[in-house]
Amino acid sequence: MVYYKTTAEIELIRKSCLLVSATLAEVANFLKPGITTRQVDILAEKFIRDHGAVPSFKNYKGFPFTCCISVNDAVVHGFPDNNELKEGDIVSVDVGAFMNGYHGDSAYTFAIGTIPDDVKKLLRVTKESLYKGVEKATVGNRVGDIAFAVQEHTERRHGYGVVRELVGHGLGKHLHEDPQVPNFGKRGTGLKMKEGLVIAIEPMINLGKKDVYYDTDGWTVRTKDGKPAAHYEHTVCVQKNKPDILSSFDDIEASEKANSNLDASYLSMV
């Protein structure tokens, strides 16, 4: 069942989303070679709880951490661990916060130190595809229009692999609500979107082929060919003329640029 949100509910979701965005900005300040993803997870949980919220992901269907932290060939749902990050890694951090009865959800992929140009391009194109999908989140369009926009930019234009097994989703009182929001599909198909629909749009894009597998932990999704993957996510409210992005990358990108241990040069690539 699809739940359309009132103006008051949308503002509560926005508060949760902006806390998630602030958490990711804190992560961006902290990341550097030698840091472990478990340390990142502890930092994120403390930040969320210190701001009066609880982590959305922790204990969700048995997931034992605050963040999904996925390094290099891990696409999504990676377990934080005690392995140190190193120069040249890319790290997707996906996190949610629950407060005032509503969830917020967002994800961002960071580059540790200098990364190869082909990986820089992957990050740039994946982030571009997120916004191309977001542009379609307006009244009267269909979910398939979002899916097509992401696939067109990443797979058809740049030859990347679009993960089929995992999708975006509705968001509100529950972390995952209807509808599902794929990153591949046909224009003019799927749910016709109405005002007040809140969805998480999250391209999961592989540098190589689309094929993935689940690691032995039962959660971490990895690329079969071992090539890196990128993941970005915004929570968006469907409106009449243009979408309302409830999360924000502004502070994340500012922290990313300010942290000399992170390679943000892909942001200015043409």
**Residue 268 has what pLDDT?**
73
For residue 270, what pLDDT is reported? 41
Tokens describing residue 169: 């989703």
* All residues at 6 or more sequence positions from 130 whose CB lies less than 8 Å from its CB, including other chains: 150, 201, 202, 203, 232, 233, 234
Can you tell me the distance from the alpha carbon of 45 to that of 49, in angstroms, rounded to the nearest whole number? 6
| Domains identified in the chain and CATH numbers | 7-268 (3.90.230.10)
pLDDT of residue 269: 62
Point out the residues of the chain with pLDDT beneath 70: 269-270
User: Residue 133's closest CA among 259, 12, 235?
Assistant: 235
Q: What is the pLDDT of residue 267?
A: 85
What pLDDT, on the 0 to 100 scale, is given for residue 87?
97
Question: Which pair of structure tokens corresponds to residue 56?
Answer: 């959305």
- Predicted confidence at residue 171, as pLDDT, reads 98
Q: For residue range 185-212, what is the model confidence (pLDDT) as tens digits?
A: 999 999 999 999 999 999 999 999 999 9
Residues 63-88: tens digit of each pLDDT = 999 999 999 999 999 999 999 999 99
